[in-house]
Structure 1
Amino acid sequence: MSWLRDSIRAFWQQGDRLLLALCLLASGYGMVLIFSATRYLETNRNMIVQGLGILLGVAVYIIMSSVDIELLTEKSWKWLILFNVVINGLVRTPLGVEVNGNRSWLHIPGFPVNLQPAEIAKLTFVLLLAWQMSRLQERGISRPSSVFQFAGHTLFMFGVVAVTSGDFGMGLTYLIIFVIMSWSAGVKKRWFLLAVVVCVVGVVLIWPHVKDLYFMKRFTVVIDHITGNPDTISEQTLGQGWQQTRSILAIGSGGLTGMGYLQGIQTQSSYKSSLPARETDEIFAVCGEEFGLIGCLVLLALLAAIILRCVWVARRACSPQSALIAMGYAGMLLAQVGVNVGMCLYVFPVVGLTLPFFSYGGSSIVTMFAAMGVVSSIKMRSLPSWLRDRSRL
């Protein structure tokens, strides 16, 4: 166990203890909300699973801080690609189970919780994309051949997630990570403009053929709600928009300071449909109902601090590859926060994305701590200030 002692000693001397403290504050706040959200179940299982997930996450954070992530990716990139494909493909085997309409989970016999493969694969996707981009930067990151390569990699992973699990919300996270990392890598703005044009034209062409699909109705109900379409008011409140309607009602009823801890009407209701997915997708609504606007701002401030810390580490990274990894994980957090809060505020369709560090989920919390452990590893190997100054000359 000497390697573990060495890892802990190295982390304590050079690791990002501030980032770990922010993650613990956020996950601790999340535990408070999860307890309230699951109190009606009259069981402590969710709290136990989340608590064990946080403890395991801290251990993984410390271990990942001691790993030279660039060396690991350089030696294992082929295996990491295979891992991404295989672990997502497992959901189509007898190990795959359906939760809330998505077959995106693995149930391993004897294992206490289900695992979400696409959540885990996000970590290695960022490592591989950063490794690929850093090498393409040497010959021109904005060359068509370069853009097609890493864009093709991203679309391939999006396709794997979509085909195996049908989880388009998770696939959207991959795309947002790609956009943020591409921008950070220095891809010229004309490529982003071209991508927007292609997306708009594509939506216009295929919309008549897909608008009646179940998944597409999640988007149309949000558009109808924002525009105030009176013809679909029943669908907005009782149909596809039921979950989001309950969410904004909970947030709105909290006001400035909230109804008080364990006092939220919908949060404490014994009817699961009163506030669906309250411990996962709608944990932000729980915060708004019981702690009000102030509680929500504290929640968002903690997440913003974690994201900004990742950006701070990226700016001081020892190489472009490490900087892109840190920015990739910052983008991952930003994507999930934006989409999850947007769902709760009824400005984004329900796509089943959890709120990082706050929502219930064993695999999710461990994955987040692992990602931040990689950022801590980058911080431990950052350039000294005098060399950073010379590098900008």
Structure 2
Amino acid sequence: MSWLRDSIRAFLERGDRLLLALCLLASGFGLVLIYSATRYMDAAAGMRCMVIQAAGILLGVLAYILLSSVDIELFTEKSWKWLLLFGVFINLLLLTPLGTGGEETGNNSWLHIPGCPVNLQPAELAKLTFVLLLAWQMKKLGERGSISRPTSVFSIAGHTLVMLGLIVATSGDFGMALTYAVIFVVVAWAGGVKKRWFLLAVVVCVVGLLLIWPYIKDRYFMRRFIVVFDHLTGNPDTLYDQTRDTGFQQTRSILAIGSGGLFGMGYLNGTQTQSTSEQSLPARHTDEIFAVCGEEFGLVGCVLLLCLLGAIILRCIWVSRRASSPQSALIAMGYAGMLTAQVAVNVGMCLYVFPVVGLTLPFISYGGTSIVTMFAAMGIVSSIKMRSLPSWLRDRSRL
């Protein structure tokens, strides 16, 4: 156990204790909301959710401390093949009988391991390795010349497209695929890829969407996008779909947030949060937990929650700007992009300005895999902070 003592000692001396404190505050707030959001269940089911989330936080803190002591650049350099194999293999497991999800989740995103008390979400775990590999790949390409060379851009874009295709093919989880895409954009932008490539990517995506639109417009997933557009434009012809069918979940969400007003209805007193009716807020402890916060804590509670998550994101950016190398800086920015994407999409779902794609609110929503992954990612950021440049060398490097 000497390695554990050494890791704890190193973390206490040089680790990012502020970032850990912010993560604990956010996850503590999440526990408070999860308790309220699961009271409508039977006592055993509600307690199980609380125990799993609390255990996930404890495991996450342990992962945070252990990863803080790892030289992440050296680890990636020596283990990049294993990291790549891990990301591919764990997603391919979804094609085996271990894969689960179906009608309950709308996709096949989970692994049911016999004997394991919780299901695992492979794409969540693979996000950690994807960021590490993308940053390492950009460092290697940058050493050979400009990162904006066509061969370099096609290489990192190809890596990303393979992962996106793998996630969509194995699980059908477009929300998680979107997170990977945002991570790529943030890392590529921070890494110095020229703007013309992003403009070209937008043009290709628009043209591609127009070409395949006749074939996908009637798919259920596309109806989620269309119903948001109809809601925002006030289309009266699809009112039933907006409120009772595809848009039911988001309609209940904005009603919950709106009814909370400035200060909310009070903890454990939310009308929809505490209701057992099937017409109440769905997925209230997972996708729609932001609506629970709005109903019971009001606008003030929502602002506080977003400030906590915003502080974590800003801390990642702060660490990135002080990193000892471009690779470490890109890793920290990649995790900042991951958090930003999930916060923006989840809150957008709850406010009916973005389609429901099944993304959790980081550190807040119920989910064992999600909470451990978030703490682990922040542990890697802490590792980068522990090895950041001293101020005198950092200032000189900018000359």
Structure 2 length as normaliser, TM-score? Answer: 0.98
1:174-232 residue CA offsets vs partner (Å, 9 max, x unmatched): 00000001110011111111111111111122112210011110000000000100000
Task: Return the match for 2:372 from 366, 375, 386.
Answer: 366
How many matched pairs? 393
Distance 1:248 1:19 in 2: 31
SS in structure 1 of the partner of residue 266 of structure 2? coil
Task: Return the match for 2:148 from 142, 147, 156.
Answer: 142
Distance 1:341 1:134 in 2: 33
Q: Which of structure 1's runs of 4+ aligned residues deviate more than 4 A?
A: none
Counterpart in the other structure of 1:392? 398
> What is the CA-CA distance between 1:271 and the residue it aligns to?
2.5
| Amino acid in structure 2 at the alignment position of 1:236 | Q
Distance 2:150 2:231 in 1: 40
Counterpart in the other structure of 1:343? 349
Task: Return the match for 2:126 from 121, 125, 138.
Answer: 121
Where does the alignment leave 5 or more consecutive residues of structure 2 unmatched? none
Counterpart in the other structure of 1:29? 29
Counterpart in the other structure of 2:216? 210
Task: Return the match for 2:227 from 212, 221, 230.
Answer: 221
Distance 2:213 2:294 in 1: 35
Counterpart in the other structure of 2:18? 18
> Are residues 1:192 and 2:195 paired?
no
Counterpart in the other structure of 2:112? 107
Distance 1:338 1:160 in 2: 24
SS in structure 1 of the partner of residue 246 of structure 2? coil
> What is the CA-CA distance between 1:351 and the residue it aligns to?
0.3
> Are residues 1:237 and 2:243 paired?
yes
Residues 118 and 136 of structure 1, relative CA distance in 2, 3 Å threshold: same
Q: Percent identity at matched positions?
A: 77
> What is the CA-CA distance between 1:360 and the residue it aligns to?
0.1
Counterpart in the other structure of 2:96? 93
Distance 2:65 2:142 in 1: 31
> Are residues 1:269 and 2:269 paired?
no
Task: Return the match for 2:169 from 163, 167, 170.
Answer: 163
SS in structure 2 of the partner of residue 155 of structure 1? helix
1:328-377 residue CA offsets vs partner (Å, 9 max, x unmatched): 00000000000000000000000000000000000100000000000000
Counterpart in the other structure of 2:76? 73
| Pairs within 5 Å for 1:219-368 | 219-368=225-374
Distance 1:100 1:315 in 2: 38
Distance 2:215 2:223 in 1: 13
Task: Return the match for 2:53 from 46, 50, 55.
Answer: 50
Counterpart in the other structure of 1:61? 64
RMSD of equivalent CA atoms: 0.7
Distance 1:154 1:230 in 2: 40
Structure 1 length as normaliser, TM-score? Answer: 0.99
> Are residues 1:130 and 2:135 paired?
yes
